[in-house]
A and B are shown apart, each in its own frame.
Chain A
Amino acid sequence: MFSQRIVALLVALVASVALAQEKPKPEQLQIAQGTLLAPKAFRAASKRVLPSLVTIEGIGGLASGISAAGIQAPGEGPTSGVIISPDGYIVTSTFNFIRKPPIITVTLASGERKVATLVGRDETRKICLLKIEGVSNLPVPTWAERQQLRVGQWTVALGIGFGGNEPALTAGIISATSRIGGKAVQTDANLSPANYGGPLLDLEGRVIGICVPLNPQSRDEGSGVDWYDSGIGFAVPIGGNEKIIEALKAGKTLQPAFLGVQSEPRGTPASGAHVVQVVPKSPAETAGIKSGDQLQAIDGHEILDVTHLQSIIARYNAGDKATISIVRGEEKLDVAAEFGVPPVQAKPPMPGKR
């Protein structure tokens, strides 16, 4: 009787252990395994874009050690670029040319080195276009679809700037899909001067954007550089943005839009953008905007307050035209404005990071 009981208990024990093993693996374990496999995906994505990655070097220009544009002295190493057309158009960052080198060379993945000419610049995106001659059928990367980007998805950044024979690889996620007036994607993949001009990729190896130093609060040449190691980095998508590429190919310098009004919120509670002063000879004056006008909308986008006005204007470039809706006393009217170039200001000395 007693041994029967022991046997029955043992059978129950074994059966319950066996039954418990049949339980499905927790989701957590699958996620853990996926995480451990991510490096394979990082390397595969990187491999896909390598043929289109170029090394850029500037020869001559301001001497090293001179702090150009008030930022920390740029490094002495090579920088990165991405081929965007089979006949030799290359995108890189304006950061790489702060020292204004008279000679720019591009080294292709094949090892071939060519002299490049700087064709056009987009100061709002901190990118510029180079052209090399005598090449055809260069490999061009695939661009990621902007609308399909999701916060939290993996990104990989490649950069030549540390030297060596291969690019450095950093990984992170998309932190935000629309920053700097919609011009940039934000990532926490470590970005530094080693990356500027180089690609930010998704896990399929498609280019999300070109890594550049940006700072929503400042337009100065080097601003945003001191955010390396901060977990904040920016890349500007250009794939499919034919308007900008064509403007750069035509040799234009795209600059941020400038309207020329000083405004303030009014009413209770204070809201909106009411013009206090119109800058003389500015695009606002030319358009007929007067002190006292309330700026209600630009091209149909309602202006909520002064900061919002600035961010809407930031979506335009100098030379762009827009319709501005105004409330003047009892009247509502629309004026046609053409944004101009921001006036040149003496740059205050900026504390550099040493």
Chain B
Amino acid sequence: MIAGPLIRFIRSQFVNSCLAIVVIGSGFCLAQEPTDNGPFADAVAAAQKRVVKIYGATIGRSPGYATGIIVSPDGQIITASGVHLSEGNVRVTMPDGSLQQAEVVRRSPSLQTALLKVSVPTPDFFAIPEQPAASKGDWVLAVSNAFKVAEGAEPLSVNIGVLSLRVRLDARRGYNDFPYEDDVYLIDAITSNPGAAGGAVVNAQGELVGLVGKVIEGKTTGTRLNYAVPADLLQRFIRGDEPMTAVAETTPRGGKGELGIRLFALGGRKSPAYIDRVLPGSPAAEAGLKTDDLVVSINGEVVRDSGDFRRLTDTLPAGVEITLEVKRKNDLLSVRIKTAAVKTP
């Protein structure tokens, strides 16, 4: 009878065929190109692992939150400087979702950036490229927490534009000149929004182009600027070499006394009188006043906001001694300062 061997033959071929189908099927699956996610997916994925959300104090009109970029494997983070960093309680949500306490290490008044440190290792960090990572017209992606849209461990918001121009910045923030005196990248992605400052601007390969800047108004156009601090300038800040700003700035009125104090310019005259920077070599510097000190009174008169400060100091002549009280963290300090003469150019 043929049946027996025939059945055995068919059965063995059946098993072979099944195996063949399984193998060929998995071969196709293995060889399949990974699903195309568009031209920017890899760059964004890499950037999201290197950008953090920063939360601090809400003061005046400043939003109290920002973004930051990880720049070293030992937890160093660069962000935009601002009053939200001033109360000493800075929390950072890391890319893995964990919440860390951060210490403010140092600031650059000229770049308006701050260096923070968290005490966990950060193996994914932005290296500063040797050459600029983008030129005019190149795609740039901004990764930031504008408007605090990303909650908890959610990935940050990404938007795209092209690099428009590298140019020297001439800008103001509120009523005051913006102290940044160097080149910026102007981009046409919309980054001028609360909370975006400190975000990463990367190219289509995920390399760092710059740090999203603060909300400022350009003097040449009278409009808000979408700008980034170029990565090569961040390199200088990380290393700690900073050009020293000139001492007392001049004002149009002669014979005026100068303390050397510049306040944070937040939302106009009603913002609290936090010191943004103390001019090197000035009477305030010599008296030991620091960034983040809150001016509380001058000669016993209460200073409620920057309007009061201006009112009490604008008419001071050179050479008079005043008593200034400042709040630093939880301490109240009293200093006596003698106003210097304003330097003429």
Min CB distance B224 to A, Å, is: 7
Chain B proximity mask over A144-169: 1 for CB below 8 Å, otherwise 0: 00000000000010000111101111
Q: Which residues of A contact B16 (CB under 8 A)?
A: 5, 8
Query: Which A74-89 residues sit within 8 Å CB-CB of chain B?
Result: 74-78
Q: How many A-B residue pairs have CB under 8 A?
A: 145
Whether A13 touches B24, Cβ cut-off 8 Å, given contacts A170-B188, A229-B226, is yes
Partner of B223, one of A166, A189, A193: A193
Mask for B209-229, Cβ within 8 A of A = 1, else 0? 000000000111111101000
Alpha-carbon separation in the docked complex, A65 to B280 (Å): 31
CA distance A36 to B137 in the complex (A): 11
Q: In the assembled complex, which residues on chain A have CB atoms less than 8 Å from the CB atom of B167?
A: 162-164, 168
Determine, out of A20-28, A174-182, A328-336, the stretch whose residues face the partner at the interface: A20-28
Residues of A within 8 A of B39 (CB): 32-33, 35-36
Binds B, one of A38-46, A115-123, A261-269, A318-326: A38-46
Q: A17-B31, A20-B32 are in contact. Are A168 and B165 (CB under 8 A)?
A: yes
Chain B positions 208-263 with a Cβ under 8 Å from a chain A Cβ? 218-224, 226
B276-318 CB contact bits vs A (8 Å, 1 = yes)? 0000000000000000000000000000000000000000000
Instruction: Say whether B149 faces chain A, with CB atoms less than 8 Å apart.
Output: no
Is A76 a contact of B24 with CB atoms below 8 Å?
Answer: no
Does B333 lie at the interface of the complex (its beta carbon under 8 Å from any beta carbon of A)?
Answer: no
Would A228 and B223 count as touching, CB distance under 8 A? yes
In the complex, chain B residues whose CB is within 8 Å of the CB of A168 = 164-165, 167, 186
**In the complex, residue of chain B having the shortest beta-carbon distance to the beta carbon of A20:** B31
Question: Could you tell me the distance in whole angstroms from the C-beta of B259 to the nearest C-beta in chain A?
Answer: 26
- Would you give the shortest CB distance from A344 to chain B, in whole angstroms? 26
Q: How far is the CB of A129 from chain B (nearest CB, A)?
A: 23
The residues in B between 33 and 88 inclusive whose CB is less than 8 angstroms from any CB of A are: 33, 36, 38-39
Task: Please indicate the chain A residues that have their CB under 8 angstroms from the CB of B23 in the complex.
Answer: 9, 12-13, 16
Give the chain A neighbours of B28 by CB distance below 8 A.
Answer: 16-17, 19-20
Contacts of B332 in A (CB 8 A): none
The 3 closest A-B pairs by CB, nearest first: A77-B220, A16-B27, A20-B31
- Can you spell out 29 A-B residue pairs with CB atoms less than 8 angstroms apart? A9-B19, A9-B23, A12-B23, A13-B23, A15-B24, A15-B27, A16-B27, A17-B31, A19-B28, A21-B31, A29-B33, A32-B38, A32-B39, A36-B39, A36-B139, A42-B162, A43-B137, A73-B222, A76-B219, A164-B165, A166-B165, A169-B164, A170-B161, A171-B188, A172-B188, A190-B161, A193-B221, A193-B222, A229-B192
- B interface residues with partner A (beta carbon < 8 Å): 16, 19-20, 23-28, 30-33, 36, 38-39, 135-139, 161-168, 170, 186, 188, 190, 192, 204, 218-224, 226
